[in-house]
Structure 1
Amino acid sequence: MNALGKMTFTETKLMLRDPATAVMTLAFPLFLMTIFGIIPGFRQPYDGFGGAAVIDTFIPGVTVLVVLAVLGLSIMPVYLATYRERGVLRRLAASPVSPTLLLVAQIIVNVLLAIAAVVLLIVFARFAFGVKPPGNPAGFVLAFVLSTTTVLSLGLLIGAVVKSSKSATAIGLAVMFPLLFLAGVWTPVELLPGPLSAIGTATPMGAALQAIRDSWSGDFPPALQLGLMAAYTVVFSAIAARTFRWE
């Protein structure tokens, strides 16, 4: 097993030792879908979504994005900050392990957890509420992968520089909620004022939600949103690797 494989295996074991994180990540989307699914109005056709029901188009994308946001901007930065507080990173600094390797391992572990959460969500939504699966599977996979790496790389950037777990929580939430608002999680971006709508679709989470929504409804994600997410992933990851603080 190479160095990355060993690091990923170690991070996976550490994640499993804290089952609350995995359980919350897997159960939270099911809880959200249940809340939305029992609202009768969300199961009725809506002209704003081309005659489709809200729960078949808008809600799945929102649920996926919220899960990624919690995982990437709340859980992951706290993990890294806790490592820093407890001196784990300082001990790693004395070894041949590079910060890039640790960050990549964190991304891999959390991507696997996100995949498990979304697969469980799709199956649950289908059988519990009759929600149609993504209409463009290939487009959805691409949108989901880029959405996940975008949000996680932003979380890694936060976790790379914060001094404490409290700071990680505060900064993560301060970044997460405005981005979710601009993305159109609480109010569809189509209903936001013109400037906010344009800004929202260009943000990391706005691009992610647009790509996921389009692929779920059967269209291929827009090239602009895919390109933005790829660029965000590269930039955030590069900055995180260069600014990573061991202590």
Structure 2
Amino acid sequence: MNWRAVYALLVRNIKRGFRHKDELFWMIIFPIMMMFLVAYVFIPLERTIMTIDLGIVNYDGNPAGFNFTAQDFMNILKNVTIDDKKLFKVKVFNSTEEGLRALKKGDLDALLVIPSGFTVNLTYSKAHLKVYILSADPMTKQVAEAELMGFLQGFASRTSKIKFQIMVKYMMKYVPEEYRDYIDIFIKYMEGIVEPVNVTYETVYPERMYERGHIIGWLAIGMIGIMIMYSGFYSGSLALISEREGGTLRRLFAAPITYLEIYITVVLDVLISTAITAAIVLTMSIFLLGAKFTWISGLDFAVIVALYILAALFTVSIGILISLVSKSVRGAAAIANGLAFPLMFLTGIWIPKFMLPPALHVIADYFPLTKIIDGIRDLVIYGKSITEVMTYLPIPVVVTLVLTAIGVLIFRRSVEKMLVG
């Protein structure tokens, strides 16, 4: 192995990369932009409550002689808050038609219609409400439905308990003493009707991935994985084609260097360029974005380095396969980008698997690079042991080694074909 030749070629490739502004953009600027985007747009600094634009049509008015009326119900809606932020921004309309026009124009997220007789029915029998939800934006629709449903269910539960307490008060006042034992049984039975199940909710937070810092750390590792994928696909697919189009292929092999040494140079080029990206991403994520990672041992670090090399071997091998169907630098770059871009979102490397449609989970479950990046995440984010990580790595390792062997053979054949041609 002529390591001096490998070193010389590697230095040449690195210098060439730093002279191209487009490569510098993808290596430095792109990951910085993406990390800032997700850190401040998709991961807010604190929990946010979405305020719903709610239209209300009150056909019941404010009847006299009642302790609680439709107007009181509207006032509650106007003033209900969570974390000192109003849940609803209320706008009153004179008719359902007027409210629906505003809803269809997108001025409202929901419209609530209070029918005539609401106050009387709420007091003596069963009241009714009509809710219209705008479905233009699925996310807003789900939030509006959830917030309105949660409020109205809570209001209904609270109202039923108050009415039950009033009923019990009158029963205890007017029912003769000798029937009190039966009344107690009846009251317990009625309590079960008013609230058949008393559910207690307690929030349990995971050890990791609850704090914002751990989420940013998870995404930082994902960004490094994305850059390994892009760099490997590009470098592998362009390794020989760029030399041929640049007129340096024959001169390159006139030097004392073999195809295997060039292949190793390509892998090292990917490792070094993505290491620069990784250093920038990790430094920025920790000191500017507040990313948090688990302290790892020396053995853990060795495993991470091995996984990093494995990821480079896998992506370069895919790049070599891309070169089989490419005749030019432009074509190879287009195919590499066309393959890497959807995989960025569909493999669970950048977008968490739980956010993907169920039909796409199979890609995240079996794509080798995803498992390799998950191994790094499990060590530095979730604090798992090497033993736990190794349970799912054999298949990605075997697939990568097989692809690497195939890639080396294809690389050799491509060299021979280009030199003969």
Letter in 1 for 2:408: A
Contact residue 207 and residue 228 of structure 1 kept, 8 A = no
In the alignment, does 2:212 pair up with 1:82?
no
Q: For the residues of structure 2 that align with 1:38 and 1:101, how far apart are their CA atoms?
A: 44
Query: How do 1:5-154 and structure 2 match up within 5 A?
Result: 5-19=4-18, 20=21, 21-22=23-24, 24-39=26-41, 41-44=43-46, 50-53=209-212, 55-93=215-253, 97-136=257-296, 138=301, 139-154=303-318
Q: Return 5+ residue gaps in structure 1 as ranges.
A: none
Letter in 1 for 2:3: L
With a CA cutoff of 8 Å and minimum separation of 6, indicate the structure with the bigger relative contact order. Answer: 1
Q: For the residues of structure 1 that align with 2:309 and 2:205, how far apart are their CA atoms?
A: 30
How much does 1:103 deviate? 0.6
Residue of structure 1 aligned with 2:347, choices 169, 183, 199: 183
Contact residue 16 and residue 22 of structure 1 kept, 8 A = no
Contact residue 72 and residue 152 of structure 1 kept, 8 A = yes
Structure with the higher strand share, 1 or 2 = 2
How much does 1:72 deviate? 1.3
Change (3 A) 1:40 1:158: closer
What count of residue pairs does the alignment treat as equivalent?
Answer: 246
Greater shift after overlay, 145-154 or 91-100? 91-100
Q: For the residues of structure 2 that align with 1:164 and 1:212, how far apart are their CA atoms?
A: 35
How much does 1:104 deviate? 0.7
Cα deviation, 1:127-177, whole Å, max 9, x if unaligned, reads 111111354452543433322332233224434663210221122123213
How much does 1:100 deviate? 1.6
Q: If the length of structure 1 is used for normalisation, what is the TM-score?
A: 0.82
How much does 1:106 deviate? 1.2
Query: How do 1:133-212 and structure 2 match up within 5 A?
Result: 133-136=293-296, 138=301, 139-159=303-323, 162-185=326-349, 187-194=351-358, 196-212=360-376
Contact residue 228 and residue 312 of structure 2 kept, 8 A = yes
Change (3 A) 1:75 1:60: same
Q: For the residues of structure 1 that align with 2:390 and 2:247, how far apart are their CA atoms?
A: 43
Contact residue 234 and residue 336 of structure 2 kept, 8 A = yes
Q: For the residues of structure 2 that align with 1:220 and 1:34, how far apart are their CA atoms?
A: 30
Q: For the residues of structure 2 that align with 1:42 and 1:216, how far apart are their CA atoms?
A: 23
How much does 1:105 deviate? 1.2
Letter in 2 for 1:83: E
% identity of equivalent residues: 22
Q: For the residues of structure 1 that align with 2:240 and 2:392, how far apart are their CA atoms?
A: 29
Letter in 1 for 2:210: G
Q: Return 5+ residue gaps in structure 2 as ranges.
A: 48-203
Letter in 1 for 2:346: L
Q: For the residues of structure 1 that align with 2:346 and 2:15, how far apart are their CA atoms?
A: 33
Letter in 1 for 2:380: W
Q: For the residues of structure 1 that align with 2:378 and 2:331, how far apart are their CA atoms?
A: 35
Contact residue 143 and residue 215 of structure 1 kept, 8 A = no
Corresponding position of 1:233: 400
How much does 1:125 deviate? 1.1
Letter in 1 for 2:259: P
Structure with the higher helix share, 1 or 2 = 1
